[in-house]
Amino acid sequence: MIEGFVALLRHTMTDHLPTPDQTAAPAAPQGAAAPALPENAFATSAAGTPRPAGASRRGGRGRGRKPGGGSAAPTAAVAATVAATAGDGTSAAQPRRAPRPVPPALEKLAELYPQLFGAVFLPLKRGIFQDLLAAHPEAFEREALKLALGIHTRSTRYLQCVAAGQQRHDLQGQPVEAMAPEHVHQALLEVHRRRQGRSSEDLLPKLRARIVANIEASGLSREEYAERVRTRDEAANALLDEALAELAAKIAREEALLRTFEASGKKSVDEFADMYGMDPRAVLRSLHNARTRAAAAAEVAAEAVTEVPPTTPDAT
């Protein structure tokens, strides 16, 4: 009986030990699956440098001051970035992995360009890898720089900047090009995947709303946008279709609102909104959207008419 009791006690104790599945990052929900980010999606480099956009919690990269007045080294902040990149996707109830060693090249980048790699993150221009090698040929070894840029652009905070649609910036911190809508879309999916892995709340409605906003900001038609971002990932494509359906319904509502407003006579927006119990700001925004789309459609139709060559009667 004693041996049986000992065996039962051991079973009870080991039953509460964390299993490998419990300590690993949880998988993304089925509806929130995101396509794998292409290696050069957000920051291209020479010779196929892997430079996708990512973002991390490198908020502690502010340039603190030493007691003697000099600038504090960014080592701690860079370490926070590496730890955040390694730990993304784990829930609060799970133990975080040990921080990865901080690449010296990443420390050097934070020291040289705090406006890009410091407390404030900015999306990097395509070709920044070559720019860095040209500006500092003795400071960076090629492969080490690739590794540092990869860690930086895969971090959650960097991805958040891309998902916000910010412009790409050069080494001087100046905006030089717009972020491609497909890169924003990919960043939205990846940020959602990481957040959903740490949250019990269903974040899909917020993600769909942000995809709808990205489609509208892109200036592309729904068909053009879908062609750019659709992948082989069925779950991501299903999410895209849901967002496109939401946008179609929104457009229909705004067009109906515009027709109703125009048929109401000379009522002001405030009077019209009060009559239907709506927020005047929301009404004004919807009217603006509907009128903008109508003007754009009319312009496209006019251009199509002018491009058609006039017909001439047959000379007989």
Domain that holds residue 242: 217-307
**To the nearest whole number, what is the mean pLDDT of the chain?**
77
Q: Are 103 and 241 in a shared domain?
A: no
Cα separation of 106 and 154, whole Å?
13
Give me the sign of the Cα torsion angle 199, 157, 160, 233: negative
Q: Are 197 and 226 in a shared domain?
A: no
Burial of 281 per CB tally in 10 Å (0-12, 13-18, 19+): exposed
Cα separation of 184 and 211, whole Å?
9
Which region holds residue 277: left if phi is over 0, alpha if psi is between -120 and 50, else beta? left
In a domain, 8, yes or no: no
What mean pLDDT is predicted for residues 248-275?
92
In a domain, 209, yes or no: no
| pLDDT interval class at 41 (50, 70, 90) | very low
Q: How much is the pTM?
A: 0.65
In a domain, 255, yes or no: yes
Cα separation of 90 and 133, whole Å?
35
Q: Are 81 and 172 in a shared domain?
A: yes
What mean pLDDT is predicted for residues 40-54?
42
| pLDDT score of 190 more than 60 | yes
| pLDDT score of 172 more than 70 | yes
Q: Quick check: 193 and 89 in contact, CB under 8 A? A: yes
Q: Are 190 and 246 in a shared domain?
A: no
Q: How many residues does this entry show for the chain?
A: 316
In a domain, 21, yes or no: no
| pLDDT score of 21 more than 50 | no
Nearest Cα neighbor of 62 from 110, 95, 22 is: 110
Q: Which domain CATH number covers 121?
A: 1.10.1710.10
* Distance (Å) of CA 110 to CA 174, 192, 230: 17, 27, 35
What mean pLDDT is predicted for residues 81-102?
57
Least reliable range by pLDDT among 263-272, 287-296, 307-316: 307-316
Cα separation of 270 and 226, whole Å?
37
What mean pLDDT is predicted for residues 149-159?
95
Predicted pLDDT of residue 72: 44
Predicted pLDDT of residue 132: 96
What mean pLDDT is predicted for residues 158-169?
97
Q: Are 185 and 45 in a shared domain?
A: yes
In a domain, 147, yes or no: yes
Predicted pLDDT of residue 309: 62
Give the residue, 232 or 14, on which the prediction is more confident: 232
Q: Where are the alpha helices (DSSP H) in the chain?
A: 2-14, 20-23, 75-87, 104-112, 114-117, 128-135, 142-153, 156-163, 181-196, 204-218, 222-229, 234-263, 269-276, 280-307
Least reliable range by pLDDT among 45-49, 84-88, 118-122, 167-171: 45-49
The tally of domains found in the chain comes to: 2
Q: Are 119 and 188 in a shared domain?
A: yes
Predicted pLDDT of residue 265: 86
Q: Are 178 and 51 in a shared domain?
A: yes
Predicted pLDDT of residue 30: 42
Using a pLDDT cut of 90, give the percent of the chain over it: 56
Least reliable range by pLDDT among 234-243, 259-268, 283-292, 298-307: 298-307
Q: Are 166 and 280 in a shared domain?
A: no
In a domain, 208, yes or no: no
Tokens linked to 303: 């251009």
